[in-house]
Amino acid sequence: MPLFGLNVFYQSLLVQGGTQDEAIVEINFRITFRVIDPELAIGRSIKGPDCLLRLDAQTCLLTALTRLRWAHLETGAANLDLAEDTRVHLCTLSILFWQQSRS
C-alpha cells in the first residue's frame, strides 16, 4: 500500500509460530519499505517487491521466534530483538538484490 504517494509502502502482517520453549505465539507486525528503483524491482521477478518482502519478513520472524523464550515475549523484552533481526535480514536481502542487479 503506497504511503504519502511516494515509493514508500507498508504492510501489516500476522505470523504464528513457536518459541524455543514450545509456546505458540501470534505476532502482528508492520513493515515499511521504500522502492528505490521500481522498474528494477518489478523487472527482476515475477512477484512484486511487496510479496517478496512479506515472505522474507515472515520467514525471518519465525526463525527468530525459535530462539526466544515465552517469558521474553511476555515481558516485551524480545520486541526489539525481533524487530532488529527482521531489519538486518531485510537490509542484507536488499544489498544482495542490488548486487545481483548490477552484475
pLDDT digits (tens, 9 = 90+) for 44-70: 556 666 677 788 888 888 888 898 999
Q: Are 92 and 66 within 8 A, CB to CB?
A: no
pLDDT tens-digit series, residues 73-100: 889 888 888 888 888 887 777 666 555 5
Q: Read off the pTM.
A: 0.66
Which grid coordinates belong to 50? 511487496
DSSP 77: T
Beta strands in 44-96 (DSSP E): none
Instruction: Report residue 17's pLDDT band, with 50, 70 and 90 as the boundaries.
Output: very high
The closest of 94, 93, 30, 27 to 62, measured between CA atoms, is 27
Mean pLDDT of the residues in the chain: 76
Question: What is the CATH architecture of 8-102?
Answer: 2-Layer Sandwich (3.30)
Output 21 or 87, whichever has higher pLDDT. 21
Q: Which residue has the cell 509456546?
A: 23
